[in-house]
Amino acid sequence: MHLAFILQAAAGGKQPNPMSSLIFFGAIIVIFYFFMIRPQMKKQKEMKTYREGLKKGDKVVTAGGIYGRIAEVSDRTVMLEIDQNVKIKVDKGSVVRTADDIVDQPKP
């Protein structure tokens, strides 16, 4: 049984107001949207804009942790130079951030 129904039945036998239940569930949905869905959509939009703005010479990091400099950019792929005369082709979706954003850790 529904906990609210049990509590109200014990309090005086009155039926719960269905409108208050709808308002409660509506508030839950609105809160869920503003704290979960909207920030995720904003992050995806920023990442799409970042990937569309990639250009030759940018230092990037892939989702697999590969650091490289962009040698070529096409519609769906990026050619990364990971060492002198070593190039790999990766999907643009795997590029997650610029290597400039990463702070080098001091060596002990």
Residue 88 is part of which domain span?
A: 55-101
Residues 60 and 87 in one domain: yes
**Domain contains 17:** yes
pTM of the model: 0.61
Residues 44 and 17 in one domain: yes
Residues 88 and 69 in one domain: yes
Residues 40 and 73 in one domain: no
Residues 65 and 90 in one domain: yes
Q: Convert the pLDDT of each residue in 61-105 to its tens digit.
A: 998 889 999 999 998 999 999 999 999 999 999 998 876 665 554
Residue-level pLDDT at 1: 47
Asked if residue 64 lies in contact with residue 94, where contact means CB atoms within 8 angstroms, the answer is: yes
By percentage, how much of the chain surpasses pLDDT 70?
A: 76
Residue-level pLDDT at 97: 81
Q: Convert the pLDDT of each residue in 18-51 to its tens digit.
A: 788 889 899 999 998 888 999 999 999 999 999 9
Q: Measuring CA to CA, how many Å separate 9 from each of 14, 35, 78, 98?
A: 6, 34, 65, 60
